[in-house]
Structure 1
C-alpha cells in the first residue's frame, strides 16, 4: 500500500522529495523577486505567510515572492485584497521548495470544534491573478498516525479566486488534495495548471471551479481498499458550461488495475444545481481505470453529470458503453481556449 506517513519532519522531507518529480528547467524569466523567503534567515522573511502579509493591500501589479529551497510548515492564506502575487520557487526543481501543513477536516481546533474540509487547506488562495511556479504544496496529515480522526479530507491547496496560474507545481496529499472552488455557487473562477503533478486517492481534484490541466501528471495512490479511489469530484454549477478539463495529461497509479474511477459527481449539501463536469481528452490513461470509468456519488448517478472523454489512449482508455465520448465538433467546443477565455479573453495557455 503506497500511503504517505509523516511521523517526523525528516521523514516528510524525504518522502515529499522522492515522489512526483517534475523535471528541472532553467530559471524562469520575469520580474525579480521583491521579497525573499529563506528558512535560514538569509532573506527578508523566514515564513511564506509573513511575506504574503508584507504585500500591500490593493496591490495592482505583479509582486514576486521568491522562496529559497527548504520546507516551510504552517498554513498560508492569500486574502482577496492581495491580488497579483507570484510565489516562485528558487530551487532547481519543484521538490526543492515545499510549502505544507498537516491538518485534516476532523483535526481538533484549539478553540473547540474541528477544521472542516476548507479549513484543513495548507494554502488558501482568495487573491486573484496569483501565479505559482516551481514549487510544491502539500498536506502532510498522517492518516495512519490518527486513527481517531475519521473525517480525513486534508486539502493541500484551496482556490477560490479567478485567473490563477500554476506552472510546474506539485500538489501532494491523500483525500481531497486539490480543491478548485469559487467564492460562491454560480460564480466562475478560472485556474490553469501547466506541467503540474497532482497525487491523492479519494476525490483528490474536486470543486466547482473552471480548471484546465494541461500536460499534467495525475497520480492515484493505493489506499488498499475497493475501490482504491476517485480522481475527480466536480461540483460545477449548472449555469457554468465549463468545469474540469484534462488535456494531454498522464493518469497513472500505484493502485491496482481497474480499482480507480475517473470521477464521481459531488453535490455539496445535496445541491441539485451542482451538475459536475469532467472532460479528459487526448491523454494517457493507465490500467488503474476500469471499463466503467465513472461512479455514482451516493444517490447521485454519474450519468446525470457532464462526464466525457475524447481520443484518450493507454490500457485504461479502452472504449465501452460506459465511456461517453465527445464528437469532434463537441471537442472543438471544449478546449483550453473555450474553458479559460471568459469575457476578458484570458489566455494563459498561449503564454510561454
Structure 2
C-alpha cells in the first residue's frame, strides 16, 4: 500500500471532487508521470500528465469568447502544500459511478505510486434534481458539490428561477466563473471569516500577458465594453460574473497574487443588478472591477493600485476600503452621460506603514475617459489620502477637464472632524446638501434600480 492517505474513498464523493494524497512529510511534484482516473471497468476517463505542456488548460463554467468559441483557462492542476498533494481534474466526473485511481511512480518525488491493486476506489454521489433551487457546497465533501464552480455548472442555462448556492465554511482554492446564460444566482457563504474563495489568478496566468499569441477567436472577452483594452483582461479574476441578477453574500474572495504580481481582480462583474453584501474582497491591484450596475454594502475592500475600477455604475455604502500601499483607491472609466462610482458613508483606512499623503481618491485618464464620475459622500478618511485628493493623467492643453464629475461632500477625518478641502485639485468640486441628498439614493445612481 502507498505511504499516503488517499481521498476520496468509498461512496458519496462529489462529481467535482479534488483528489488528495496526504503524506506525513513535505513532498514535491516530479517532472513527469501520470495520474489516471478509471471507471470501474478500467476505462480511463481523466488523465493528469505532468509532461504534457497542455496539462494546465481547461474550460471553466462554459466560458465563451466574443467569437463564441470555448475559452481555455490556465490553471494549476496540481497544488502542493507541505505534505498534501491536491489534484484538480479538468472536468467533473459522471454521477452514480464507480471509479479507481492510479498514480505513476515519481508523480510525487520519491513515491512509488498507486496501482489498481492498492485500492484507491470511490463512488460518486447522485446529482441534485434538475431545476433544484438550492445547491449546497462543502470543500470537505459532505454536500452536493465540493467546489463552487461545480454548483454553477449544473444550473440550467437560461433558467428563470432564483437559485441559492449555499457555501459551507472552508477554503475553496478555485477560479469561479458565472456565464451570462446563468442569471438569478445567489452565492451565500457561512460568514466572511469562515468561507473563503481564493486563487492566485492574474494577468500573467490568464490576462493580456498570458494570452499573447493565443487565437483571438478563443480568448477575446465577451460583452466587451472598451474595444481596445478589453481584449483579454476578463479572465484574470478569482470570481468572474457575466450574468445579470447575481448576489454574493457572507464570504471572502481573495486573490492571493502577491504585491507586484500584476493586475489581479478578486471580483469582476459585467452584468446588470449585481449585489455584494457582507463580503471581503482582497487583492493588491484592481481588486474590484465593475462594468454593469453593482451595489456593494457592509463590506471590506483592500488593495493599493486602482483597487476599485471599471466602466459601470457602482454604489458603495457602509464599507471600509483599506490602502495596502501607495496608490489610488479608484480608476473609473465612464462615458460622459454614464453613471460612475458613488461612495456613501465609507471609511478610507490604511495598512501599517502607508505614509501620509500617499493615496488618492481616484485617477482619471483624460484622453479616453474625460467624462468619468466619482463621488464621495460622508466619507471618513485617514491622513494617507493626499490633500489634492484627485489625479488626472494626460493633463495639458489638449485635454478638456470640464466634463469630469469628481465631487465630495461631508468628508471627515476618521474620528469625525471635518476635513479642509481647500487643497483639493481644481478638477474636482464640492457638492451642496441638496446635491449630496440626491446621490444618497442608489436608484438615482443605478438607473432606477433600488437594491436596498
Instruction: Judge same fold: TM > 0.5, yes or no.
Output: yes
Residue 95 of structure 1 aligns to a residue whose secondary structure is coil
Q: Relative to structure 1, is the Cα distance of residues 68 and 233 closer, same or farther in structure 2, using a 3 angstrom cutoff?
A: same
Which structure 1 residue ranges, 5 or more long, are not aligned?
A: 1-6, 11-31, 147-151, 182-188, 223-227
Comparing 308-317 and 57-66, the one that deviates more: 308-317
TM-score between both structures, scaled by the size of structure 2: 0.61
1:310 aligned to 2:409?
yes
What are the superposed Cα offsets for residues 63-117 of structure 1, whole Å, 9 maximum, x if unpaired? 0000011111221110111111000002xx3121111221221336499569953
1:294–1:302 contact (8 Å) kept in structure 2: no
Q: Relative to structure 1, is the Cα distance of residues 285 and 89 closer, same or farther in structure 2, using a 3 angstrom cutoff?
A: same
CA RMSD, Structure 1 to Structure 2 (Å): 2.6
1:105 aligned to 2:203?
yes
Equivalents in 1 of 2:298, 2:401: separation in Å? 29
1:210–1:339 contact (8 Å) kept in structure 2: no
What are the superposed Cα offsets for residues 142-173 of structure 1, whole Å, 9 maximum, x if unpaired? 246x6xxxxx1111111100111111001100
Deviation of the 1:256 alpha carbon = 1.2
- What residue is the counterpart of 1:185 in the other structure? none
1:204 aligned to 2:307?
yes
- What residue is the counterpart of 2:114 in the other structure? none
- What residue is the counterpart of 1:261 in the other structure? 360
Greater RCO, 1 or 2 (C-alpha within 8 Å, sep 6+) = 1
1:71–1:99 contact (8 Å) kept in structure 2: yes
- What residue is the counterpart of 2:164 in the other structure? 64
- What residue is the counterpart of 2:377 in the other structure? 281
Deviation of the 1:55 alpha carbon = 1.0
2:311–2:334 contact (8 Å) kept in structure 1: yes
- What residue is the counterpart of 1:73 in the other structure? 173
Deviation of the 1:347 alpha carbon = 1.3
Deviation of the 1:203 alpha carbon = 0.3
- What residue is the counterpart of 2:139 in the other structure? 39
Deviation of the 1:137 alpha carbon = 1.1
1:340–1:347 contact (8 Å) kept in structure 2: no
What are the superposed Cα offsets for residues 223-279 of structure 1, whole Å, 9 maximum, x if unpaired? xxxxx1000000011121x21011011110122111101101146xx535x521110
Aligned ranges 1:211-222 → 2 under 5 Å: 211-222=314-325
After the TM superposition, list the runs of 4 or more consecutive aligned residues in structure 1 that deviate by more than 3 angstroms.
Answer: 7-10, 107-117, 298-304, 337-341
Q: Relative to structure 1, is the Cα distance of residues 221 and 239 closer, same or farther in structure 2, using a 3 angstrom cutoff?
A: same
Equivalents in 2 of 1:317, 1:302: separation in Å? 24
1:118–1:155 contact (8 Å) kept in structure 2: no
2:336–2:403 contact (8 Å) kept in structure 1: no
Equivalents in 2 of 1:341, 1:252: separation in Å? 26
- What residue is the counterpart of 2:188 in the other structure? 88
Equivalents in 2 of 1:9, 1:331: separation in Å? 50
TM-score between both structures, scaled by the size of structure 1: 0.77
Which of 251, 254, 266 is equivalent to 1:156? 266
Q: Relative to structure 1, is the Cα distance of residues 340 and 294 closer, same or farther in structure 2, using a 3 angstrom cutoff?
A: closer
1:77–1:124 contact (8 Å) kept in structure 2: yes
Pair member with larger Rg = 2
Deviation of the 1:123 alpha carbon = 1.1
Which structure 2 residue ranges, 5 or more long, are not aligned?
A: 1-78, 83-131, 220-230
What are the superposed Cα offsets for residues 185-221 of structure 1, whole Å, 9 maximum, x if unpaired? xxxx211111010000000000111111110001000
Q: Relative to structure 1, is the Cα distance of residues 298 and 155 closer, same or farther in structure 2, using a 3 angstrom cutoff?
A: farther
Equivalents in 1 of 2:402, 2:303: separation in Å? 24
